[in-house]
Amino acid sequence: MLLLLSIAVAAAGCAANPAPSPTAALSCTAGDTLLVRETLYFGRSRPGGGTVSDAEWKSFLAEVVTPRFPSGLTVQEASGQWKSASGAAEQERSEIITLYHPDTEASRQSIHEIALEYKRRFQQEAVLRERSPTCARFE
């Protein structure tokens, strides 16, 4: 019985706690705005061969990304490499989108929807999402 109680107490300490906001520990100087910098990495190779065409990428950007973040974003072309689920090292043409947004549920949901739609539309295994707090301002 004591063993079960000990396990229960230990398990309670491991219970999922909501992750703290990435902006919780950051304070900005006067004139700066506390935002989240979100960077998304999109591979352009298709699993069955071929690539996401320039026209398809531009359409995805216009139909899916821009409506969710109409204030602006940055897109960079890149060459990426990652280890796929099969264990193979994959090299591919990639796109990187950088967004700055308030740390809100609506923004987090929009990012999630963008990644889901890219994976669905182009049969991708994953979209890498990098998130960090930042202080920003236009000079």
Other CB atoms within 10 A of residue 110 CB: 19
Nearest to 103 by CA among 63, 131, 73: 131
How many structural domains is the chain composed of? 1
Report if residue 12 sits inside a domain.
no
pLDDT value for 52 = 97
pLDDT value for 20 = 53
Global model pTM greater than 0.95 = no
Report if residue 72 sits inside a domain.
yes
Mean pLDDT per 10-residue segment, the chain (139 residues): 35 46 73 95 92 98 98 96 84 96 96 98 95 93
Report if residue 19 sits inside a domain.
no
Q: Residues 76-111: pLDDT tens digits? A: 999 999 887 788 888 999 999 999 999 999 999 999
* Domain extent for 53: 27-136
The enclosing domain of 115 has a CATH number of 3.30.70.120
